[in-house]
């Protein structure tokens, strides 16, 4: 559906140059000289790159309906990841390339947020934090403290995370999926 720039709202999905963008902010500007314009900040849906773009009021853009759904990870078959919609129980699948580096933190039965356009998943957002178990790390030594340093640990998803020296194999930890860092130990 084509809309005018004056109908633009924050959070709306639009299509420009073959890419889908999310409108982060928009501002109508009326300078002292010349005509009014709209200054926007747009986030590329796939790459996450934020751009600034200025539109004239006469320009028309394509409005894209993006549906936000909660889906649950089921299993991997080759390079294809299978998910289930939490409301309709419909099975959906995507290429593992869509997740990028976040695939390192994808756990069985993990609920994620999917943005769907025309029945196809355009983007998957992981939760900011996951609770995971350490499957392999060097044993801790008595007297190790949080300030003494870090050591590598492999978590149950197969990813490597730097953890404090006092954390051992079999313990549960919270990991920030945005940057892959250890947050804290979790009691299970």
Domain match, 52 and 72 both:
no
The predicted pLDDT at position 147 comes to: 60
Average pLDDT over residues 120-140: 88
Domain match, 177 and 136 both:
yes
The whole-angstrom separation of Cα 54 and Cα 58 is 12
Domain match, 54 and 78 both:
no
pLDDT-wise least confident of 57-71, 106-120, 135-149, 171-185: 135-149
Share of the chain above pLDDT 70, in %: 95
The whole-angstrom separation of Cα 169 and Cα 133 is 8
Coil, strand, or helix at residue 181?
Answer: strand
> What pairs with residue 44 in β-bridges?
21
The predicted pLDDT at position 144 comes to: 57
Domain match, 113 and 150 both:
no
Most confident of 11-20, 42-51, 59-68, 123-132: 123-132
pLDDT band at 73; cut points 50, 70, 90: very high
Coil, strand, or helix at residue 136?
Answer: strand
Q: Which two tokens stand for residue 123?
A: 């983007």
DSSP state of 178: T
Domain that holds residue 172: 129-186
Domain match, 140 and 110 both:
no
Domain match, 121 and 72 both:
yes
The whole-angstrom separation of Cα 165 and Cα 182 is 12
Instruction: Say if residues 20 and 14 touch (Cβ distance below 8 Å).
Output: yes
Domain match, 103 and 149 both:
no
The predicted pLDDT at position 67 comes to: 85
Q: Which two tokens stand for residue 68?
A: 């936000």
Task: Residue 33: give its domain's CATH number.
Answer: 2.30.30.30
Please state the domain count of the chain. Answer: 3
3-state helix, strand, coil in the chain (%, to 5): 5, 55, 40
Average pLDDT over residues 12-34: 86
The predicted pLDDT at position 142 comes to: 61
Task: Residue 80: give its domain's CATH number.
Answer: 2.40.50.140
The predicted pLDDT at position 64 comes to: 84
Domain match, 142 and 178 both:
yes
The predicted pLDDT at position 176 comes to: 92
Q: Which two tokens stand for residue 92?
A: 């959906």
Instruction: Say if residues 70 and 20 touch (Cβ distance below 8 Å).
Output: no
Instruction: Report the mean per-residue pLDDT for the chain.
Output: 86
Among 42, 64, 86, where does a domain finish?
Answer: 64
pTM of full prediction above 0.85: no
Domain match, 13 and 59 both:
yes
Instruction: Say if residues 110 and 70 touch (Cβ distance below 8 Å).
Output: no
pLDDT band at 146; cut points 50, 70, 90: low
pLDDT band at 101; cut points 50, 70, 90: confident
Domain match, 16 and 54 both:
yes
Domain match, 57 and 85 both:
no
Domain match, 75 and 32 both:
no
């Amino acid at each position: 559906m084509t809309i005018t720039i004056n109908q633009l709202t924050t959070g709306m999905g639009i299509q420009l140059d073959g890419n889908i963008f999310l409108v982060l902010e928009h501002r109508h500007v009326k300078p002292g000289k010349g005509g009014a314009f709209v200054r926007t900040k747009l986030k590329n849906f796939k790459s996450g790159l934020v751009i600034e773009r200025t539109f004239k009021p006469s320009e028309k853009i394509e409005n894209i309906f993006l549906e936000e759904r909660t889906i649950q990870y089921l299993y991997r078959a080759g390079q294809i990841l299978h998910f289930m919609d939490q409301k309709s129980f419909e099975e959906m699948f995507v290429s593992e390339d869509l997740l990028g580096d976040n695939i390192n933190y994808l756990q069985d039965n993990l609920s994620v947020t999917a943005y769907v356009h025309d029945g196809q998943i355009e983007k998957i957002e992981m939760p900011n934090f996951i609770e995971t178990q350490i499957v392999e790390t060097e044993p801790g030594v008595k007297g190790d403290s949080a300030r003494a340093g870090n050591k590598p640990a492999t978590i149950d998803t197969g990813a490597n995370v730097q953890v404090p020296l006092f954390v051992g194999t079999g313990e549960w930890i919270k990991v920030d999926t945005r940057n892959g860092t250890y947050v804290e130990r979790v009691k299970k």
